[in-house]
Each structure stands twice: as C-alpha cells, then as structure tokens.
Amino acid sequence: MEVTANSISEETNIWSGGNKPLGSSYGKLMMWFFIVSDALTFTGFLVAYGFSRFKNIDSWPIADEVFTHFPFLHGVDAPMYYVALMTFILIFSSVTMVLAVDAGHHMNKAKVTFYMLLTIIGGAIFVGSQAWEWKNFIKGEYGALETRGGQILQFMDAETGKRVALEAFAANIDSPRTTHENSNGIWFLSETSLPSYSVEEVAAGFAANENLVVKSEKIDELGHKIILSREESLRKVNEAINVVEGANLVHNEYGNRLFADFFFFITGFHGFHVFSGVVINIIIFFNVIMGTYEKRGHYEMVEKVGLYWHFVDLVWVFVFTFFYLV
C-alpha cells in the first residue's frame, strides 16, 4: 500500500496527484487528520468535565485526597506521586520515540530498533500503572455513607485528623440479609454484591466512637473539605441510606459521583489510546527488525506512529493537568 502511495507521489503534475499539501506525504497528512478529529473528541470530554466540575464546584472531590497510593508503600499518604511518576515515564517514552524518528532519518536500523523498544516499554509501564490506579480507585480505601440526596459522608478521627475506614469502627450486628441471587429467589431479580457492612452497623459503630466525626463533601472557601461537629455528624449519619465502598459508575466513596464517571471515561479513553499506541508500536518495531523500512528506503512509518504517540502523550498532559492537578 505504502509503495503504491509513494509511486503515485512521484508524479509531478499537480492534478494527477503530484501535489503534496503542506509538503507532507499522504500518510502523514492522514495521520494529522486523524489527530485533529481525535483531539476534538478529547476536547469534548475535557469541556464536559469542566462544565460538570464547575457546576458542582462546592462538592468536587480533591484529587490529592483520592490518588494517594504508591506501589509497595502501604498506608503511606503519597498524594499524586505515582501519577506524576507515570506521567514522567510517558513523557520519557515520547523522548525515546523522537530519538527513534531521528535515528530513522539517519537510516540507523539498530538505533531505531532500540529506541522503539524503549518506547514500547515506557508505554506498557504507563498502561500497567493506569490499570493499577483503576484497581485502587474501584476498590476504595476507607468506605463511606451515602445520604438520600446522594451526598457522601466520610469519617475521620477528630483528634488525629486522619481518615478512618469503616472496618475500624463498624459494629457487628447479626443480620440475615444476604446478597439476593436469582437462583434462590425471584428469578427475574438480582442485585450486585452487598457492601461489607450495613448502614445500621456503620451508624451504631459511629455512635459508639465518640472521637469520630463526618467529613462532608462540601468545600469551604479555602478549598478544604468541611468537617462537621459531632452533633451535626450524628444527625447526618442518621440520614444515610447506603454504604459505599470504592467506586463504580453509580456510586463512589470519594464524593460527587460525576467525579468517578469522568475518571473512568477520560482516563479510560486515554488509556485505550495508549494501549492502541503500544500495539501499533510493536507492529512497527517488528517491521523495523525485519528490515521492511530499510528496503523501502525510508522510515516514514516510524514518523507516523511517532506523530500518534506524541499526540497521545500531549493529551495526557492535559488530562493530568485538568483532572489531577487543578
């Protein structure tokens, strides 16, 4: 296919296909078209995110309090450190990508191979880290209560100011309630697995522990979450109707439920792009090893996948900025 495109582009008559818009080859131009349309899709996501966040600005979760995990450091509060690290790894894979493109210009097969390999490894580490972030986000850490109005009530120790997990204080009340399965009940009804604790157990445990207070999802003028007094907390806990552990598209223990929806959609869509990029990089990598581009006389295919890779990297810079940092 590429060979055909190149033989056509040797035509010098403009109206017979000899025209190269912007001095760019057919393949690169098409990659640019794709990048522009894809950029519009990501723009749509980020603009929708911005609108929703602005509308719920008084109850939006603080990313620093959500993404606090670092591999092998259990219980250590490391806000954003791992996301920053994986961002750096992705940016570094963009550096190795541009080094591969440059080596391609010099027709240096060995260097192109090496830098493509590094790019693939960087991309794979990023996707793996993203999966790990998702795992932590979905699993949750502390658990929370949800009121009828959809507000999330988190728990903290009034003395230490540290968050407290449900398992640390929930009372153990004997209850016959089990997850309903359609095999042993009404066959057309089913439900997702029940949380580890019932609302009554959490409320009883909360009432028994005098030092516990509720951390509301509302934000004060300095940008901190408002912590309720003990009396207000007790009143709020009695309004709760759900126990929430972790996050899905309907409930999340971090606060406003839209937060989780946008997290899943934006980082998921981007992660899908990185995954596709890694797959395409692997294909090109093997083509390089087999000498396809050496025979062709140019490494333009590496440039094209490079364009895509830099674009995906750039999109992450925006996602990182608007979703995690701001």
Partner 1 sequence: MAHDTENLAIFRGLLKFKSNVQKIWGVLIFLSIVTTIEVVLGILKPQSLMSMFLGMKILN
Q: Is 223 in the site for partner 1 (CB under 8 A)?
A: yes
Evaluate whether 23 touches 316 at the Cβ level (below 8 Å): no
Q: Is 297 in the site for partner 1 (CB under 8 A)?
A: no
CB of 98 to partner 1, least distance (A): 6
SS (H, E, C) the chain: CHHHHHHHHCCCCHHHCCCCHHHCCHHHHHHHHHHHHHHHHHHHHHHHHHHHHHHCHHHCCCHHHHCCCECCECCCCCCCHHHHHHHHHHHHHHHHHHHHHHHHHCCCHHHHHHHHHHHHHHHHHHHHHHHHHHHHHHHCCCCEEEECCCCEEEEEECCCCCECCHHHHCCCCCCCCCCCCHHHCCCCCCCCCCCCCCHHHHHHHHHHCCCEEEEEEEECCCCCEEECCHHHHHHHHHCEEEEECCECCCCECCCCHHHHHHHHHHHHHHHHHHHHHHHHHHHHHHHHHHCHHHHHCCCHHHHHHHHHHHHHHHHHHHHHHHHHHC
Q: Is 57 in the site for partner 1 (CB under 8 A)?
A: no
Per CB under 8 A, which region of 99-107, 117-125, 177-185, 237-245 contacts partner 1?
A: 99-107
The residue count for binding partner 1 (CB under 8 A) is: 11
Per CB under 8 A, which region of 53-61, 90-98, 136-144, 312-320 contacts partner 1?
A: 90-98
Q: Is 105 in the site for partner 1 (CB under 8 A)?
A: yes
Smaller CB separation from partner 1, 99 or 164: 99
Per CB under 8 A, which region of 5-13, 88-96, 172-180, 239-247 contacts partner 1?
A: 88-96
With CB under 8 A as the contact rule, the residue among 102, 141, 232, 294 that binds partner 1 is 102
Q: Is 139 in the site for partner 1 (CB under 8 A)?
A: no
Q: Is 65 in the site for partner 1 (CB under 8 A)?
A: no
Per CB under 8 A, which region of 12-20, 96-104, 183-191, 207-215 contacts partner 1?
A: 96-104
Q: Is 95 in the site for partner 1 (CB under 8 A)?
A: yes
Q: Is 98 in the site for partner 1 (CB under 8 A)?
A: yes
Per CB under 8 A, which region of 92-100, 152-160, 187-195, 287-295 contacts partner 1?
A: 92-100
CB of 103 to partner 1, least distance (A): 8
With CB under 8 A as the contact rule, the residue among 14, 110, 189, 326 that binds partner 1 is 326
Footprint of partner 1 (CB under 8 A): 84, 88, 92, 95, 98-99, 102, 105, 223, 325-326
